[in-house]
């Protein structure tokens, strides 16, 4: 824990309006949350991407509310002074406005989150409105929305044609009017992201693979550090190869145990001679 103060929504809005980029990363566990707070990250997303990065599923669809609450609680314990967003998993908000409000409330009450995020455009505006009216800060997510990956035809750029780009622009307006204080644009062209950012009136626009013109950037933690073995998306810069460092450590451990060079005396605990002699007498 640091002595920094958790950013508030007015402070995030001010940062955006002053052109200071907002930093946002995914995070799913206590030790990583601790490090992210130390590094000075503004916001954490406990993403349902944990289904892939932490649980090894092929998609985010099997992730449950219970998974999300458990990981959000761990993140909050590790990063008490970071703005934490709980990501609403598949079917936790799609069925109805009431389902959406109840599950959004669980993130706030059970995991002390500061906001929730959900995927979808104008068709989800009533969910965003219901959640925001219940006093829960709500974030929209447009462009590549992984819970709809099958309908979108795969993990690919969205809004490339003029008509599809117009639909995303209209969706962003609908979410803003419904009360979203922030919208994440994932994998849309940079100029579309720029247009949406310019047109946002009281809404922060964040980019994941959508270029530099948004009010801030989001990355998936596992992609940044070479920790996801299945693929590396183009939009993710690898800032360090932690996967390689860990693999080297693991290989060395296997070697040292096999060669009996680990453990060494500094890695174990002795017993006083008199206690050992007494033990022998007891046997
Ligand atoms: O779950 C997640 O991490 C997300 C990002 C892909 C934006 O929703």
In tens, the pLDDT along 29-83 reads 999 999 999 999 999 999 999 999 999 999 999 999 999 999 999 999 999 999 9
Could you read off the pLDDT of 78-98 as tens digits, one per residue?
999 999 999 999 999 999 999
- Spacing, Cα 107 to ligand 1 middle (Å): 16
Residue nearest to atom 3 of ligand 1 (CA): 47
- Spacing, Cα 62 to ligand 1 middle (Å): 14
* pLDDT at position 273: 98
pTM beyond 0.85: yes
Catalytic annotation, pick one of 176, 186, 256, 278: 186
Q: Which atom number of ligand 1 is nearest to the Cα of residue 45? A: 3
Ranges of the chain with pLDDT below 50: none
CB-based contacts of 224: which residues, under 8 Å, 6+ apart?
25, 236, 237, 238, 239, 240
Residue pointed to by tokens 């002053």: 18
DSSP SS3 for 147: helix
- Spacing, Cα 15 to ligand 1 middle (Å): 23
* pLDDT at position 53: 97
- Choose which residue among 49, 88, 222, 228 to substitute to test ligand 1 binding: the one with the highest number of ligand atoms within 8 A of its C-beta: 49
H-helix segments, the chain: 9-17, 30-39, 50-53, 65-78, 97-111, 125-133, 149-152, 162-178, 190-199, 221-224, 242-258, 273-282
Q: Which atom number of ligand 1 is nearest to the Cα of residue 186? A: 7
Six-digit token string for 115: 């906001």
Residue nearest to atom 6 of ligand 1 (CA): 49
- Choose which residue among 27, 29, 48, 205 to substitute to test ligand 1 binding: the one with the highest number of ligand atoms within 8 A of its C-beta: 48
Q: Which residues line ligand 1 (CB under 6 A)?
A: 26, 45, 47-49, 87, 146, 184, 186, 208, 220
- 110 is an active site residue: no
Residue nearest to atom 4 of ligand 1 (CA): 47
Q: Which atom number of ligand 1 is nearest to the Cα of residue 184? A: 7
Residue pointed to by tokens 């860990």: 246
* pLDDT at position 49: 97
Q: Are 83 and 6 in contact (CB under 8 A)?
A: yes
123: left (phi over 0), alpha (psi -120 to 50) or beta: alpha
Q: What is the distance, to the nearest Å, from the Cα of residue 234 to the centroid of all Cα atoms in its chain?
A: 18
* pLDDT at position 4: 87
Q: Which atom number of ligand 1 is nearest to the Cα of residue 49? A: 1
- Spacing, Cα 70 to ligand 1 middle (Å): 17
């Amino acid at each position: 824990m640091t002595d920094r103060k958790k950013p508030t929504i007015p402070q995030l809005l001010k940062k955006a309006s002053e052109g200071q980029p907002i930093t946002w990363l995914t995070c799913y566990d206590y030790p990583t949350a601790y490090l992210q707070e130390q590094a000075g990250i503004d916001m954490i997303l406990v993403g349902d991407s944990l289904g892939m990065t932490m649980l090894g599923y092929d998609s985010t669809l099997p992730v449950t509310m219970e998974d999300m609450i458990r990981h959000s609680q761990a993140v909050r314990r590790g990063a008490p002074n970071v703005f934490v967003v709980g990501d609403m998993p598949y079917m936790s908000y799609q069925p109805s406005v009431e389902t959406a409000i109840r599950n959004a409330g669980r993130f706030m009450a059970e995991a002390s989150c500061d906001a929730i995020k959900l995927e979808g455009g104008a068709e989800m505006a009533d969910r965003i409105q219901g959640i925001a009216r219940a006093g829960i800060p709500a974030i929209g997510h447009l462009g590549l929305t992984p819970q709809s990956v099958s309908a979108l035809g795969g993990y690919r750029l969205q809004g490339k044609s003029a008509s599809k780009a117009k639909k995303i622009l209209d969706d962003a307006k609908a979410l803003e009017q419904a009360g979203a204080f922030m919208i994440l644009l994932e994998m849309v062209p940079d100029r579309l992201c720029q247009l949406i950012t310019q047109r946002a009136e009281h809404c922060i626009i964040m980019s994941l693979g959508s270029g530099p013109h948004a009010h801030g950037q989001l990355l998936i933690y596992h992609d940044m550090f070479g920790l996801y073995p299945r693929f590396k998306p183009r939009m993710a810069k690898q800032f360090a190869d932690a996967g390689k460092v860990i693999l080297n450590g693991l290989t060395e451990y296997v070697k040292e145990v096999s060669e009996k060079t680990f453990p060494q005396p500094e890695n174990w605990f002795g017993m006083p001679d008199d206690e050992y002699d007494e033990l022998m007498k007891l046997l």
